């Protein structure tokens, strides 16, 4: 299963400590040999040309550019760190926004030694001495991160903004080592260095290539430091519904291997598969304990599919540490926690990492008589898997493939809130390795259909004489949409969850509205849909045309009004998962009002995506029904125009209006 924390994604904490105990013996001399290229108080000199610069010909119209970036990384297991130095030239009024600095980070990372300053166009300097905030930044639903934020003072057009900071990594974070070369602004010059962990062989690659102005990374044979310089790096511009940005950015990955590297792709993956299979079997193969556990879960008379689902549900009830705030080594000692080393211990303790819960399911399923095999898959969260890169880190999720009635059932009960018969979206349509004692074979997990993930919105509203609307709205989320909500809100309290649901509904209604959640949705578990009920008030929904009133037909369409407006596309269009949205809206008209003209039904079906809309009326009531089905996974950039035309079509349909005659106009007629 895909866990939320890199620590659990690899090995349990205790397993890592045992495996890497020798690292404690790293010599003090080696530590002293690693020094950053710049000391904490250094600022590089600024040239007169940089101060006078008003534009960059290679980035026309850019609001700002990076004059210089420097990344100096050290991969010592104890005390790994990365020093960052950034110099930004502000070229336009809009570029002043880059005085608001966000330094992103993730779990197992700290940030220290933050310093910043503004260099005015005349060369005078204003040092930053303000407050640094810790905050959660959400660009969109798929882009959430923690950040340290602050604002550099007195920034004008023509100013230079400089800041520096250090990422401090927890032990063994070296196994996520990389340089991200691409940046949101054009970069005039960049320097990257790495002091590698010296106990294991290392290789590096650049999956998306390197920019034209970059030298290939070279390792100094004396110092062992790897260096790369790059010039004139184009800005990386994100687009809506794009593949994982880290798959598309220029970056250099550093790979370490305890066993060295194989040049033969097939031999590499066979060797890896054998080793992983042995580890899984050592954890899961506790036959007697598993048989005793299964006897408490299923009945002998249960049909096979009932048995498997019961085992799955029981595993999902186990406390899943991967979906809780990460437990530190100090807390483990303080609470005298024992982290399970095999399926028997996990069952007795009643808690474990998500990946281990999935391997527990493997042991239980086998004990119940099922043909069950372990698999490692490459999640689609940050990268698309390419076996030619020989990077086993990319197989970062695990699941179990069970043969049931001649079909393969893919199960990942360690992925919280994932219903039986489904996989989390990052594990769907993903390539993986089905493990066995010979090293295994490649598989691809299935993509769900749109019917498996639904957003159903039902509204019973009353239209008032003044043009306002009020009534009840029920939104039902199923499948992967329900899972996404539950994961996103798992650490929030009831008030925050309520606010999230209300804000989401408001964003969908194309008018100012008052929304209040009136029920208590079921946030735990995965078997039932997530159902949210609301009281809704909209102060002004109608527009007047002479004696008639116009009622907008598109009700929950605001989020789709501005999708794919750009005429060109750089990257493929990438949907997380297929879905089906259905709207059923009944509007009771004021006494004496009637529909002057119905709208004709609209349908648009281009196979992978389809839309339908209809209006029905009877005395005193208008019913609007809308459906949007999407079974798209990826649309190449050269086919973007077809998708864009489809959304333009449905926007036009959603903009239709139902013509109403108020009671006074009906009486005159």
27 pLDDT exceeds 90? no
Phi/psi of residue 205, each to 5°? Answer: -150, 170
pLDDT-derived band at 30, boundaries 50, 70, 90: very low
Q: Which helix (H) or strand (E) holds 41?
A: none
- Helix H or strand E encompassing 186: none
- Kindly report, residue by residue over 187-196, the tens digit of the pLDDT: 999 999 999 9
CATH of domain 37-256: 2.60.40.3140
pLDDT in tens, 509-547: 999 999 999 999 999 989 999 999 999 999 999 999 989
What element of type H or E holds 285? none
Rounded CA-CA distance 391/628 in Å is 39
Parts of the chain belonging to CATH 2.60.40.3140: 37-256
pLDDT band at 668 (very low <50, low <70, confident <90, very high): low
Instruction: Answer whether residue 428 shows pLDDT above 90.
Output: yes
User: 53-62, 111-120, 334-343, 424-433: which has the minimum mean pLDDT?
Assistant: 334-343
Which segments within 11-62 are labelled E, that is strand? none
Instruction: Report whether pLDDT(352) > 50.
Output: yes
Residues 6+ apart with CB under 8 A from 539: 468, 512, 514
pTM for this entry: 0.86
Residues 124-129 have a mean pLDDT of 96
What is d(CA 565, CA 647) in angstroms, rounded to the nearest whole number? 9
Mean pLDDT calculated for residue range 233-252: 93
216, 193 in Cβ contact below 8 A? no
Which of 324-328, 336-340, 347-351, 457-461 has the lowest average pLDDT? 324-328
Specify the 3-state DSSP secondary structure of 272.
helix
Q: Which of 253, 143, 233, 230 is nearest to 184 (CA)?
A: 233
Give CA 177 to chain center in angstroms. Answer: 20
User: d(Cα 285, Cα 288) in Å, to the nearest integer?
Assistant: 9
Alpha-carbon span 434 to 373, nearest angstrom = 7
Looking at 3.10.620.30, 3.40.50.720, 1.20.1600.10, 3.90.78.10, the CATH number of the domain 265-446 comes to 3.10.620.30
CB distance 97 to 177 below 8 Å: no
Is 34 or 274 the better-scoring residue by pLDDT?
Answer: 274
Q: Collapse the DSSP code of 104 into the 3-class scheme (helix H, G, I; strand E, B; otherwise coil) and give the result.
A: strand
Confidence tier at 399 by pLDDT (50, 70, 90):
very high
Tell me, what's the pLDDT at 141?
56
Question: How many other CB atoms are there within 10 angstroms of residue 504's CB atom?
Answer: 15
The percent helix, strand, coil of the chain (3-state, each to 5) is: 25, 35, 40
Average pLDDT of the segment spanning 76-102: 92
Domain with CATH 3.10.620.30 in the chain: 265-446
DSSP 8-state class, residue 32:
H
State the average pLDDT over residues 644-659: 94
Predicted pLDDT of residue 35:
37
pLDDT at 598: 77
Nearest alpha carbon to residue 373 among 423, 435, 432, 427:
435
pLDDT band at 71 (very low <50, low <70, confident <90, very high): very high
What is the torsion angle, in degrees rounded to the nearest 10, for the CA atoms of residue 455, residue 459, residue 465 and residue 467? Answer: -10
Hey, is 624 helix, strand or coil? strand
On whether the CB atoms of residues 363 and 144 are closer than 8 A, the answer is: no
Give the residue from 325, 318, 323, 324 showing the smallest Cα distance to 340. 318
Dihedral (CA of 497, 503, 506, 512) sign: positive
Give residue 2's pLDDT.
Answer: 37
Query: In the prediction, which pLDDT does 305 show?
Result: 96
Confidence (pLDDT) at 176: 75
Fold type of domain 451-668: Jelly Rolls (2.60.120)
Q: b or e along 329-355 (b: 16 or more beta carbons within 10 Å of the residue's beta carbon)? A: eeeeeeeeeebbbbbbbbbeeebbbbb
Question: In which band, very low, low, confident or very high, does the pLDDT at 12 lie, cut at 50, 70 and 90?
Answer: very low
3-state SS, one letter per residue, for 507-560: HHCCCCEEEEECCCCCCCCCCCCEEEEEEEEECCCCEEECCEEEEECCCCCHHH
Element (H, E) at 35: none
Q: Which pLDDT score, from 0 to 100, does residue 29 have?
A: 31
pLDDT digits (tens, 9 = 90+) for 144-192: 678 999 999 999 999 999 999 999 988 777 777 899 999 999 999 999 9
Question: Which percentage of the chain shows pLDDT scores above 90?
Answer: 78
Q: Is pLDDT at 24 greater than 70 in this prediction? A: no
Q: Are 651 and 580 in contact (CB under 8 A)?
A: no
Residues β-bridged to residue 203: 255
Q: What integer pLDDT is reported at residue 41 of this predicted model? A: 59
What pLDDT is attached to residue 404? 96
| 8 pLDDT tier (thresholds 50, 70, 90) | very low
**pLDDT > 60? residue 240:** yes
Measured in residues, the chain has a length of 669
pLDDT value of position 7: 28
pLDDT at position 325: 79
pLDDT at 307: 98
Rounded to whole angstroms, the Cα distance separating 427 from 379 reads: 5
Q: How far apart are CA 374 and CA 202, in angstroms?
A: 28
Residue 290 has pLDDT above 60, yes or no: yes
pLDDT of residue 263: 82
Across 44-51, average pLDDT: 96
Are 3 and 321 a contacting pair, CB within 8 Å? no
pLDDT at 4 over 50: no
Give the list of residues 6+ apart from residue 60 with CB closer than 8 angstroms, or none.
Answer: none
Find the mean pLDDT for residues 603-618: 95
Compute the average pLDDT of residues 78-96: 93
pLDDT for 11 beyond 80: no
Please name the residues in contact with 433: beta carbons below 8 A apart, sequence gap of 6 or more.
269, 272, 273, 276, 375, 376, 377, 395, 440, 441, 442, 443
pLDDT of residue 32: 30
DSSP state of 337: -
Q: Per-residue pLDDT averaged across 562-581, rounded?
A: 94
What pLDDT sits at residue 262?
A: 79
pLDDT of residue 378: 96
Q: How confident is the model at residue 38 (pLDDT cuts 50, 70, 90)?
A: low
Mean pLDDT of the chain: 89
- Residue 452 to residue 479: CA distance in whole angstroms: 6
């Amino acid at each position: 299963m895909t866990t939320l924390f890199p620590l659990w994604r690899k090995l349990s904490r205790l397993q890592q400590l045992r495996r890497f105990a020798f690292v404690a013996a790293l010599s003090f001399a080696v530590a002293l040999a690693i020094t950053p290229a710049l000391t904490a108080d250094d600022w590089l000199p600024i040239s007169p040309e940089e101060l006078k610069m008003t534009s960059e010909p290679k980035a026309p119209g850019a609001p700002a550019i990076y004059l210089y970036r420097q990344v100096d990384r050290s991969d010592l297991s104890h005390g790994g760190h990365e020093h960052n130095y950034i110099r930004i030239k502000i070229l336009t009024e809009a570029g002043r926004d880059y005085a608001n600095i966000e330094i992103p980070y993730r779990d197992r990372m700290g940030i220290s030694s933050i310093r910043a300053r503004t260099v005015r166009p005349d060369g005078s300097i204003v040092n930053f001495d303000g407050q640094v905030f810790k905050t959660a930044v959400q660009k969109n639903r798929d882009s959430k991160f923690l950040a340290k934020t602050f604002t550099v003072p007195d920034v004008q057009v023509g100013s230079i903004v400089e800041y520096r900071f250090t990422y401090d990594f927890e032990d063994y974070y070296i196994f996520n080592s990389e340089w991200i070369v691409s940046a949101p602004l054009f970069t005039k010059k960049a320097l990257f260095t790495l002091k590698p962990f010296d106990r294991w062989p290392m290789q590096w690659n650049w999956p998306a290539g390197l920019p034209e102005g970059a030298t290939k990374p070279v390792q100094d044979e004396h110092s062992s430091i790897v260096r790369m310089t790059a010039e004139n790096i184009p800005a990386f511009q994100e687009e809506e519904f794009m593949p994982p940005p880290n798959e598309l950015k220029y970056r250099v990955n550093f790979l370490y291997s305890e066993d060295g590297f194989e040049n033969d792709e097939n031999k590499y993956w066979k060797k890896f598969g054998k080793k992983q299979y042995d580890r899984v079997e050592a954890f899961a193969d506790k036959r007697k304990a598993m048989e005793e556990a299964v006897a408490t879960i299923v009945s002998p008379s249960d049909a096979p599919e009932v048995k498997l689902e019961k085992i799955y549900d029981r595993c999902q009830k186990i406390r899943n540490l991967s979906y809780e705030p990460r437990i530190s080594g100090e807390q483990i000692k303080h609470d005298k926690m024992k982290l399970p080393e095999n399926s028997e211990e996990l069952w007795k303790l009643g808690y474990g990492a998500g990946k281990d819960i999935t391997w527990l399911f493997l042991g239980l399923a086998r004990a119940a008589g099922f043909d069950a095999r372990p698999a490692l898959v490459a999640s689609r969260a940050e990268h698309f898997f390419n076996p030619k890169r020989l990077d086993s880190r990319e197989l970062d999720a695990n699941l179990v493939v069970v043969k049931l009635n001649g079909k393969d059932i893919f199960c990942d009960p360690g992925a919280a809130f994932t219903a039986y018969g489904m996989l989390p979206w990052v594990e769907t349509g993903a390539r993986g390795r089905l493990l066995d004692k010979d090293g295994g074979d490649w598989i691809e997990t299935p993509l769900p259909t749109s019917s498996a993930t639904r957003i159903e919105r039902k509204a019973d509203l009353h239209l008032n004489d003044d043009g306002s609307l009020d009534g009840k709205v029920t939104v039902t989320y199923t499948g992967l949409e329900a899972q996404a909500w539950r994961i996103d809100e798992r650490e929030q309290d009831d008030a925050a969850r309520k606010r999230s649901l209300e804000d989401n509904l408001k964003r969908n209604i194309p008018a100012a509205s008052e929304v209040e959640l009136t029920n208590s949705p079921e946030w735990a578990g995965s078997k039932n849909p997530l159902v949210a009920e609301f009281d809704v008030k909209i102060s002004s929904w109608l527009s007047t045309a002479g004696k008639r009133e116009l009622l907008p037909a598109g009700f929950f369409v605001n989020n789709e009004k501005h999708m794919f407006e750009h005429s060109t596309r750089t990257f493929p269009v990438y949907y997380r998962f297929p879905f089906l949205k259905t709207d059923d809206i009944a509007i009771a008209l004021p006494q004496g009002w009637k529909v002057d003209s119905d709208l004709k039904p609209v349908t648009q079906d281009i196979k992978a995506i389809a839309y339908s809309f209809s209006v029905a009326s009877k005395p005193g009531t208008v019913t609007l029904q809308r459906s949007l089905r999407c079974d798209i996974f990826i649309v190449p950039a050269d086919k973007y125009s077809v998708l864009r035309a489809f959304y333009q079509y449905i926007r036009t349909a959603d903009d239709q209006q139902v013509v109403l005659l108020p009671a006074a106009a009906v009486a005159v007629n």
